[in-house]
């Protein structure tokens, strides 16, 4: 055996294990032992939430509806959909959320939305990227739900855009905040079909001809802060599908979950 050849595979193996371990440890630390509280602002170093607020955040883990991401009370096995997904299927293919919308989640969402707490976005985006791994895998672009200009005036920035930017850093899926436009719901009803009116009432999202060409054939992940009924996201998804996006998925920070769902 030549000197130096034998240890190489071992070194490689250890390197691989070490790399994997480091990644796993970093991930675990990221999730389990954050060093800055973005919720209660207790003086800790780094970023994230303090242990107390962390335990209050209700992260959504499997089992959940593969379509809507609604948590199940027990695991029904693969491909079992929630009642909601069957009864009222949305235009988007899949939805995922990092956490349930509860008191702590609301603190984070409101901080980002109304109090210029842009420092919250990186941690929230990191959790979203984790929850949306399968959606982001192979996606072509991130599109944040746009604010109407009137609402945008009252705020310095679009919180969905800030979250999408944070997810872009985590996933390397490109943020395209310029493609989807929000217009007045009641301005362009004349001359539209009934189906078009219905979608207009829901929020009226449009793409320019140029934007449509960029969305055509692409897999889009729509990003928003909170999913309640999903009507806004559904209207956005329909606009993107009309522009011939190949698939639209939805990734939000928090979703409203009434009660744990029993799969059917
Ligand atoms: Zn805290």
pTM here is 0.77
Q: Ligand 1 centroid to 142 CA: how many Å?
A: 29
Residue 230, pLDDT score: 82
CA distance 231 to 250: 12
Smallest CA-to-CA distance from 138 within 220, 223, 238 is with 220
Q: Ligand 1 centroid to 49 CA: how many Å?
A: 5
Q: Ligand 1 centroid to 191 CA: how many Å?
A: 53
Q: Ligand 1 centroid to 50 CA: how many Å?
A: 4
Q: Ligand 1 centroid to 109 CA: how many Å?
A: 14
* Tens-place pLDDT, residues 219-256: 999 999 999 878 888 889 999 999 999 999 999 999 99
Residue 8, pLDDT score: 44
Over residues 170-194, the mean pLDDT reads 73
* Tens-place pLDDT, residues 49-101: 777 887 888 999 999 999 999 999 888 887 899 988 999 899 999 999 999 99
Q: Work out the mean pLDDT of the chain and round it to a whole number.
A: 79
Residue 17 has φ and ψ, to the nearest 5°, of -65, -45
Smallest CA-to-CA distance from 27 within 130, 171, 147, 140 is with 130
**β strands within the chain, DSSP E:** 95-100, 141-144, 174-175, 180-182, 205-207, 219-227, 247-255
Q: Ligand 1 centroid to 152 CA: how many Å?
A: 29
Whether 204 contacts 197, CB under 8 Å: no
């Amino acid at each position: 055996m030549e000197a130096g050849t034998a240890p190489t595979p071992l070194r490689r193996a250890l390197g691989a294990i070490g790399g994997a371990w480091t990644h796993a440890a970093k991930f675990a630390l990221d999730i389990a032992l954050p060093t800055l509280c973005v919720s209660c602002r207790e003086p800790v170093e780094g970023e994230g939430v303090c242990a107390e607020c962390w335990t209050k955040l209700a992260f959504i883990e499997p089992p959940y509806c593969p379509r809507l991401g609604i948590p199940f009370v027990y695991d029904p096995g693969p491909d079992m959909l929630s009642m909601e997904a069957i009864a009222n299927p949305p235009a988007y293919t899949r939805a995922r959320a990092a956490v349930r919308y509860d008191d702590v989640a609301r603190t984070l969402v409101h901080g980002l939305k109304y109090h210029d707490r842009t420092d919250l976005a990186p941690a929230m985006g990191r959790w979203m990227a984790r929850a949306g791994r399968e959606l982001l895998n192979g996606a072509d672009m991130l599109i944040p739900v746009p604010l109407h200009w009137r609402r945008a005036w009252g705020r310095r920035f679009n919180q969905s855009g800030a979250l999408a930017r944070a997810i872009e850093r985590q996933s390397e899926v490109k943020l395209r905040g310029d493609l989807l436009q929000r217009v007045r719901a009641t301005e362009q009803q004349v001359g539209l079909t009934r189906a078009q009116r219905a979608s207009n009432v829901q929020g009226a999202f449009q793409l320019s001809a140029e934007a449509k060409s960029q969305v055509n054939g692409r897999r889009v992940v729509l990003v928003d802060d909170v999913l309640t009924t999903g009507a806004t996201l559904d209207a956005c998804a329909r606009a993107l599908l009309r522009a011939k996006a190949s698939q639209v998925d939805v990734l939000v920070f928090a979703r409203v979950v009434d009660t744990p769902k029993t799969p059917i």
